[in-house]
A = this chain, B = another copy of it.
Amino acid sequence: MKTIGIDMMGGDFAPLEAVKGVSAFLQTHTPEVHLLLIGEEGKIKAEMDHNPLPESAYTIIPATQVIEMHEHPTKALKEKPQSSISIGFHLLASGKCDAFISAGNTGAMMVGSLFSIKTIEGVIRPTIGAYMPREDGNLGLLVDVGLNADCKPELLNQFALLGSLFAEHILKINSPRVGLVNLGAEEGKGNLLIQATFPLLKNNSQLNFVGNIEGRDILINKADVMVCDGFTGNVVLKLAESVYDMVIRRNINDVHFNRFNFETYGGVPVLGVAKPVIIGHGISTAIAFKNMILTACDMLNTDLTGKIKECFAPGSTANSIKS
């Protein structure tokens, strides 16, 4: 049985929403995994009074420290070894859990993903994707959304493949269409990075590359995986999030715009690291925690990490294209 570590202290409503999320997960899904609930034992147990969990499904792993949202990631991870995030990565790195979820300090989760656990062989840098809602009810994946502010073409080529594998196995999209985010649709357009990346994607036989996509195409169903550097992706993601804030402020109730509530997606996967890591939104609610656990289960059940390893192994197509 696989084991998933959950940072119970992460997010603005910790540990209440985390406990409720775990409870919701356990109510609707036969526990195929064992959950490690990492955090302040007293606080977690207090919330369990109102949201009882079946004892066999979880183990509480005490963590006496919490990395707050505003703390400097590297400094906090170093100075708070007893924090729920530090302990979570320690459990993951030492093989005591198979996946790790947190809605805590995003920077600390990124730094932890990069330095606490191994990057898959052949992967230059891990990446973080974010879902983009479509009017047909499906989701697209935008990679990278902030882990890699400065990118080289080879990196974007790898993001495309990592995103493609996630879209295929987790979003269940057959032969996902990969688009390159650009300022124009025609080949030859773009900044130097994108101009140099285009031929790499075009010649990558492991991708279903559909060419450039523009800003106007990101929210519509033009590509399933949308590749960009982490600077552009981060600006796009936060802009899309702000559209939802505006929709709420303006009392607009629309089934599609409601899906711009990024909290409900339950976090974004870190792709390219040796074990599944999911970084949640700071304002994660119970449903977000439930969805994060489900995504972690999917990543474990489909052995996404194993599939990424195969694709990036020395001698594989991806690797030969890279070199």
Q: Are B234 and A232 in contact (CB under 8 A)?
A: no
Closest chain B residue to A234 by CB distance?
B183
Q: Contacts A220-B242, A239-B239, A250-B257 known; A231 to B190 CB distance under 8 Å?
A: yes
The interface residues of chain B lying within 8 Å CB-to-CB of A1 are none
The interface residues of chain B lying within 8 Å CB-to-CB of A192 are 149-150
The interface residues of chain B lying within 8 Å CB-to-CB of A231 are 183, 190-191, 194, 232
Q: Are B229 and A183 in contact (CB under 8 A)?
A: no
The interface residues of chain B lying within 8 Å CB-to-CB of A237 are 215
The interface residues of chain B lying within 8 Å CB-to-CB of A256 are 246, 250
Query: How many Å from the CB of A53 to the closest CB on chain B?
Result: 35
Query: How many Å from the CB of A105 to the closest CB on chain B?
Result: 12
Q: With an 8 A cutoff between CB atoms, is A276 at the interface?
A: no
Identify which of A181, A190, A231, A234 gathers the most chain B CB atoms within 10 Å of its CB: A231
Q: Are B149 and A181 in contact (CB under 8 A)?
A: no
The residue from B135, B232, B241, B243 contacting A235, defined by CB atoms under 8 A apart: B232
Closest chain B residue to A188 by CB distance?
B72
The residue from B194, B214, B217, B236 contacting A215, defined by CB atoms under 8 A apart: B236
Q: Are B216 and A245 in contact (CB under 8 A)?
A: yes
Q: In the complex, A70→B211 CA distance in Å? A: 17
Q: In the complex, A252→B255 CA distance in Å? A: 11
Q: In the complex, A239→B242 CA distance in Å? A: 12
The interface residues of chain B lying within 8 Å CB-to-CB of A191 are 149-150, 229-231
Q: With an 8 A cutoff between CB atoms, is A48 at the interface?
A: no
The interface residues of chain B lying within 8 Å CB-to-CB of A190 are 149, 231
Q: Contacts A183-B149, A250-B257 known; A215 to B229 CB distance under 8 Å?
A: no
Q: With an 8 A cutoff between CB atoms, is A55 at the interface?
A: no
Q: Are B236 and A218 in contact (CB under 8 A)?
A: no
Since A215-B242, A216-B238, A216-B245 are in contact, a sample of 18 more A-B pairs with Cβ atoms closer than 8 Å, ordered by chain A residue number, is: A135-B249, A135-B250, A146-B183, A150-B191, A183-B230, A215-B237, A215-B238, A216-B239, A216-B242, A219-B239, A232-B232, A236-B236, A239-B239, A239-B240, A246-B257, A250-B254, A250-B256, A252-B257
Q: Which A positions have Cβ atoms within 8 angstroms of B?
A: 135, 146, 149-150, 181, 183, 190-192, 194, 214-220, 228-232, 234-243, 245-246, 249-250, 252, 254, 256-257
Q: List 11 A-B contacts (CB under 8 A).
A: A135-B246, A149-B183, A149-B191, A215-B234, A215-B240, A217-B242, A218-B242, A220-B242, A232-B232, A239-B239, A243-B243
